[in-house]
Structure 1
Amino acid sequence: MKLLLLSDSNSVHTIKWATSLAKSGIDIIIFSLAELSVKDYDNIKNINIKTLGEILSRDESTLSKLKYLKALSAIKEIIKEFQPDILHAHYASSYGLLGALSGFSPFVLSVWGSDVFSFPLKSPLHKFILKYNLKKADKILSTSHVMAKETKLYTNKEIEVTPFGVDMEQFKPMEVKSLFEKDNIVIGTLKALETKYGIEYLIRAFKIVSEKYSNLPLKLLIVGGGSLELELKQLVKDLKIDNKTIFTGKIPFVEVPIYHNMLSLFVSVSQSESFGVAIIEASSCAKPVVVSNVGGLPEVVEDGVSGFVVPPKNPQETAEAIEKLALDKNLRERIGKNGRERVKNLYNWSDNVRQMIGIYEELLK
């Protein structure tokens, strides 16, 4: 099978889909608007990267009409030479528009989040573009039910949910060289340090719990980089918990399972999120999780079974959930074990890849 992916080649989502599908023997060309800046595709013979060579984000406003015409011309040339069996665009606005305008069929379109939650609200034209792209697609995919529901506002077509799961062999409970003492109770998160991920509320919740239980060896681990790093470090100092907190900065993806395994419990109290991959990674490592009741997060956590769901922007209720888990090691172990079982049943990456290949094969019948 030959697959043409229209997607950001530097995105971890693209990397994971492309490398996994390539392992299944599919020949892949990835067309990316941005220049390649990662090495994840090195030595994978059946993946080729073609780029427009632009330095840009996925924000469609950075793409001029001229760049679209240039990109469309390049895609049509690739189709002519490569003769793909399937064209799959990841991100329903920018790459989706290129897929729709290419006129190729079968055309698969995956929605990612902001492309359906915010893009169509910008103007009537943006809404028209999204509807047009969805209309042209032979198959529409979403990583979560909440995102599929949002997408249904713009199309009458059926939307299949294709979870973005985790490799359970990579993300599993294991002994790691930790930054902490063995008896420490480590509360933390692995997220970009940006407003939408609500790291401030985790920090304030930790302050409440650590002040209440000053006798316990509670520690806070914040893994990730981002524009709020200095601001959050200052908040930690102001709250006088800097002696209990470690910021790691951005880490390579291969180290993510190591840091998950340093935690006693994982917290993700985002203000908005379409799907919680980091939460699934934590659960796969058998860590109990505390998440906010927004977007796709309540979908990946069964409240009271594989974790606790709390209101967003609420340090007090977040602190109460953290307290329950911090004080009861047996509860942490039970909820962590339930979480890994849930991942096995719903978010096992090998199952997700098989599902995607099945979708492609069905379209080719």
Structure 2
Amino acid sequence: MTRIAMVTGACDPRRLEVGQLRTGLHAQLHGSVRGPAAAGHEVIVHGPDRGGVSDDEAAGQILTDPVPTGDVDIDDATDAHAVAAGLERFADGLALRWRSSRPELVHAFDWYAATAAERALRAVQARIGPVPLVVSLPSLGHVHRRHLGETPAGAPIRLAAEREITRKADLLVASCVDQHRELLQLGAPRDRTVTIPHGVDGARFAPPRAGRPREVKNVVTVSDLAPHRGTEAVIAATLRVPDTTLTIIGGPPPALLGTDARVAELRAFAARHHGIDRVHLTGRVPNEEMPALLGAADVVVQVPWFTGFGRAAIEALACGRPVIASAVGGQLDSVEHGTNGVLVPARDTHTLYDALRKVLLDPRCRASLASAARPRTLDRFGWPRVTDAQLQAYERVAAAEPALAEVAT
């Protein structure tokens, strides 16, 4: 049995136990924790104390430890001073804990957590000795900047931190082949970089019971509504196909849909394309509601300009739904063109329309793609296989000399 400390900067760890999995990345962390714990390892999850969940509510199978970091949300942070101060508090809190209770391995799940964990391990190394550091980066700031021409949340600290982490981590975990390549270009050592995809829970994400064929076909897309998610392209393409509706999952909480500026933009866009009554925005929904929403689709469309892993694609495929996806990021790994879905160039609305029309109006094509969707996805991305790869990576890094000791000053 190994004592594993997992660190996240994206959510209060107590939310993993009470089911408040706001995003797919939270669900990925949840699975990454439960797999090793079920294999007999002692796992504790450290993350920022965001409040809103009591220790009693969070009591359960996952051992969690919220760390006071101040009022910093790394998804929205633009104040470099606030980010730096939050990192310092986070690192200090982790160091305090690890001095008295040494982990045998640390796995950080984003740049913020990785930076705090590396600093904490360095601070306590003289007392507890070197500890292997594994780092997963769900997205890369320099990729964001390359495509959008702007710095992402947490920059410029994030950009420098990601480069430093690629040098100091004992093992870097890419979520897809495309991200593996990006990490190597960023300077990651080839012999300390592996690819382990995100996992999907095949018991939760499963095909719904067969019902009567619908006259009106339902297109579904999952999007936080940022322009680079390609939502306008999905609206435009869907509204050109007769007898279709579009469900857009994500964005602000449902209560704020009426006042959100971006929602107003999308509704105006749909109106200009004469289809405002055919486009439905759900707002942000818990991950627990995703299986039913994806299962209600005739086809799921995910066409961001760029992405990390692209989790919505594997969740839709596990539900037995064909996926039309832009040929970027992890969607290149999960969507096999012509087998379980269709790959289209990013930012190409015309090709997207052709693909959508073909899948929706050709029942044989749709059925063929759907029949291959679930088996292939569970074989490659089911949690048992992903957990095996995760544990093998831990064994590999535990047997090697920690990189932190190599760069210690």
TM-score (norm 2): 0.79
Q: Which runs of 4+ in 1 moved over 6 A?
A: 38-41, 119-126
**Quick check: 1:9–1:15 contact (8 Å CA) kept in 2?**
no
Q: Secondary structure of the equivalent of 2:350?
A: helix
| Residue of structure 1 in register with 2:140 after alignment | 114
The residue correspondences of 1:155-174 to structure 2 (distance < 5 A) are 155-158=188-191, 159-174=193-208
Question: Is residue 2:177 matched to residue 1:145?
Answer: yes
Other-structure match for 1:4 = 5
**Which residue identity is paired with 1:189?**
T
Q: Is the 1:9–1:30 contact (alpha carbons within 8 Å) kept by the matching residues of 2?
A: no
* Equivalent in the alignment of 1:293: 327
SS in 2 for 1:352: helix
**Displacement, 1:128?**
5.2
- Cα distance in 1 for partners of 2:145, 2:228 equals 17
Give how far 1:306 is off.
Answer: 1.4
Q: Is the 8 A contact 2:175 2:330 kept in 1?
A: no
Aligned to 1:52: 68
Q: CA deviation at 1:73?
A: 1.9
**Alpha-carbon distance in structure 2 between the residues aligned to 1:37 and 1:144:** 34
Distance 1:128 1:183, change over 3 A: closer
State the Cα distance separating 1:241 from its structure 2 match.
1.1
Superposition pairs of residues 55-66 of structure 1, within 5 angstroms: 55-58=71-74, 59=77, 61=80, 63-66=82-85
Any stretches of 5+ residues in structure 1 without a counterpart?
211-216
Separation in structure 2 between the aligned mates of residue 234 and residue 131 of structure 1, nearest angstrom: 41
SS in 1 for 2:220: strand
Q: Which structure carries more relative contact order (alpha carbon 8 Å, separation 6+)?
A: 2
The answer for the alignment partner of 1:253 in structure 2 is 287
The match for 1:187 is 219
Q: Indicate whether 1:95 and 2:113 are aligned.
A: yes
Distance 2:30 2:324 in 1: 28
Aligned positions, number = 356
Pick one of 27, 35, 49 that aligns with 2:42: 27
| CA drift at 1:168 | 1.0
Equivalent residue runs for 1:1-365 within 5 Å = 1-7=2-8, 8-10=10-12, 12=26, 13-33=28-48, 35-37=50-52, 42-58=58-74, 59=77, 61=80, 63-91=82-110, 93-101=111-119, 102-103=121-122, 104-115=130-141, 117-118=143-144, 129-153=161-185, 154-158=187-191, 159-175=193-209, 182-210=214-242, 217-226=243-252, 228-365=262-399
The alpha-carbon deviation at position 37 of structure 1 amounts to 4.8
Helix, strand or coil: the match of 2:31? helix
Q: Provide the secondary structure at the position in 1 that maps to 2:309.
A: coil
CA spacing shift, 1:316–1:223, aligned 2, 3 Å: same
Q: CA deviation at 1:64?
A: 4.6
Alignment-mate amino acid for residue 165 of structure 1: G
User: What is the aligned partner in structure 2 of residue 213 from structure 1?
Assistant: none
Opposite residue 371 of structure 2, the aligned amino acid is K
How far off is 1:63 after superposition? Answer: 3.9
1:125 and 1:183 map into 2 onto residues whose CA distance is: 52
For 2:157 and 2:250, locate their aligned partners in 1 and report how far apart those are by CA, in whole Å.
Answer: 36
User: Are residues 125 and 250 of structure 1, via their aligned partners in 2, closer, same or farther at CA, if it must alter by over 3 Å?
Assistant: closer
The answer as to whether partners of 1:189 and 1:223 remain within 8 angstroms in 2 is yes
Q: Residue 349 of structure 1: CA displacement?
A: 1.8
Task: Name the amino acid aligned to 2:48.
Answer: L
1:291–1:310 contact (8 Å) kept in structure 2:
yes
CA contact (8 A) 1:29 1:50 kept: no
Q: How far apart in 2 are the matches of 1:37 and 1:295?
A: 34
Question: CA separation of 1:39/1:194 partners in 2, compared to 1, >3 Å: closer, same or farther?
Answer: farther
Q: Distance in 1 between matches of 2:3 and 2:170?
A: 17
Q: Distance in 2 between matches of 1:166 and 1:19?
A: 13
**Cα shift at 1:126:** 6.2
- What letter corresponds to residue 92 of structure 2 in structure 1? S
Deviates further, 144-153 or 25-34: 25-34
Conservation of the 8 A alpha-carbon contact between 1:22 and 1:47: no
Contact 2:308 2:329 in 1 (8 A): yes
Query: Judging changes above 3 Å, is the alpha-carbon distance between structure 1 residues 113 and 326 closer, same or farther for their aligned structure 2 residues?
Result: same
Q: Residue type matched to 1:145 in 2? A: V
Partner amino acid, structure 2, of 1:193: L
**TM-score normalised over the length of structure 1:** 0.88
Closer/same/farther in 2, CA of residues 71 and 125 from structure 1, 3 Å limit: closer
Change beyond 3 A, Cα 1:271–1:47: same
- CA contact 1:189–1:267 (8 Å) conserved in 2: yes
Q: Structure 1 residues 39 and 287 mapped into 2: Cα distance closer, same or farther (>3 Å)?
A: farther
CA drift at 1:181? 8.1
Q: Which amino acid aligns with 2:323?
A: V
Distance in 2 (CA, whole Å) between partners of 1:233 and 1:326 is: 23
Q: How far apart in 2 are the matches of 1:263 and 1:239?
A: 22
Q: 1:135 Cα deviation (Å)?
A: 2.2
Following the alignment from structure 2 to structure 1, what is the Cα–Cα distance between the partners of residues 220 and 144? 29
